[in-house]
Amino acid sequence: MVGLSLSAAGTVPLVVVGDLFPNGWFDYALGGVLIGLGVSVIYLSTGIIAGASTFLESTLSYVSDLPRFNRGKYVRSRDWRVVFTGGIVLGAALYAVTLGPGGWTTQVQPWRLFLGGTLVGVGTRLGKGCTSGHGVCGIGSGSNTSFVNVATFMLLAIGTAQLVAALGVSP
């Protein structure tokens, strides 16, 4: 790590690109380009923002009679949304077993993953959208609501990570 001397008392470390991306930056840049391309194609071809929480609601229209899940826009678009959502899961799995570390890639217990996923799902509904909808699509379109939501997501995520680390919780 490189340091910048501010006074005789010490130095303030400068962050180097290698510190931020210890495995290289190309995969992250490529992922960002592919995500941007994907949401652009979806929006330009359907007029629908590619937020994942909306995909969940449209999928629930298959099994629920609740009017909330059976809005016309959900029912009309649910087939391709299921394919899209399945592609996200299948793509991650395919990466893990081919280019990635292989198979199950976390030390976190399945019950914690399930609980965390459930809390994220509830949070996306309370926040009127998910990080992909607000973070990628909303900010990309200049939505003030999305800027506020993403700032809230980030502050709470950083605070939670700091709290969990301070409490010594491990996977």
Q: Of all helices (H) and strands (E), which one includes residue 72? A: helix 72-98
* Per-residue model confidence (pLDDT) at position 159: 93
Contact 133, 58 (CB under 8 A): no
Buried b (16+ CB within 10 A) or exposed e, 134-153: bbbbbeeeebeebeebbeeb
pTM of the predicted model over 0.85: no
* Per-residue model confidence (pLDDT) at position 4: 44
Residues paired with residue 5 on neighbouring β-strands, in sequence order: 11
Those residues of the chain that have pLDDT short of 50 are 1-7
Instruction: Give the integer Cα–Cα distance in Å for 19 and 17.
Output: 5
* Per-residue model confidence (pLDDT) at position 167: 92
* Per-residue model confidence (pLDDT) at position 163: 93
User: Which pair of tokens denotes residue 95?
Assistant: 């990466």
Instruction: Give the integer Cα–Cα distance in Å for 86 and 90.
Output: 6
User: Which pair of tokens denotes residue 5?
Assistant: 């001397």
User: Which pair of tokens denotes residue 76?
Assistant: 């009309």
Using DSSP, state whether 4 is helix, strand or coil: strand
Residue 94 phi/psi, 5-degree rounding, is -60, -45
Instruction: Give the integer Cα–Cα distance in Å for 45 and 80.
Output: 12
Domain ranges of the chain: 106-170
* Per-residue model confidence (pLDDT) at position 5: 41
* Per-residue model confidence (pLDDT) at position 108: 85
